[in-house]
Chains A and B, each alone.
Chain A
């Protein structure tokens, strides 16, 4: 069955370190998204991609970057982790012609 996976599921890192969260989907979807989820804020869009080599900023993109070198993967990089980036991060994907998104299980990131 097609799926979307995230790794690691839990990560603890120190302030200032670079961190990369992986997202891999086997749906063959063109669209991929990264969100962060924080209490009281719901889901906030960080970055998204509509295809290979395409990336776009979401509403909370500062301090984050993505690159899309193939259809299956959209890694999220925190250039210099900050305590404010402690959150649960979700990756999602969708077909280019339809809009329902399929979500990964999430990565809980703690920045100390």
Chain B
């Protein structure tokens, strides 16, 4: 069965510092991969997605993620964090074929300090 692990429950970074949020997945084939962000009291918003091709994908708000098949990872990065990036971040995996719903990780909460 598909599964997604986000090892870090909570991360705190200083404003202007770089950020990397980890995501590892378990899936028998190449999956579709997603990162979502949830601001307090809001629904989830898609940051970026990987379907195929270039393993480094760019998203909104200056985020990028890199798919590494050998490590079954899809880590999210941002070179310089802004206070407005404080939110909950979810990684999700979906099938490359078939018709099963996305599987979400449990999320990583990002705090940004001055």
Given the known interface contacts A33-B101, A43-B90, A99-B32, the answer about A105 and B42 at a Cβ–Cβ threshold of 8 Å is yes
Encode contact with A along B77-112: 1 for CB under 8 Å, 0 otherwise: 000000000000010001100010110111100000
Question: A45: CB under 8 A from chain B?
Answer: yes
Interface size on A, residues (CB 8 A): 20
Chain B contacts to A: CB under 8 angstroms: 32, 34, 36, 41-46, 49, 90, 94-95, 99, 101-102, 104-107
User: Which residues of A sit under 8 angstroms from B99, Cβ to Cβ?
Assistant: 50
User: Which residues of B sit under 8 angstroms from A33, Cβ to Cβ?
Assistant: 101
User: Which residues of A sit under 8 angstroms from B45, Cβ to Cβ?
Assistant: 103
User: Which residues of A sit under 8 angstroms from B41, Cβ to Cβ?
Assistant: 106
Contacting A42 at CB < 8 Å: which of B46, B49, B94, B106? B106
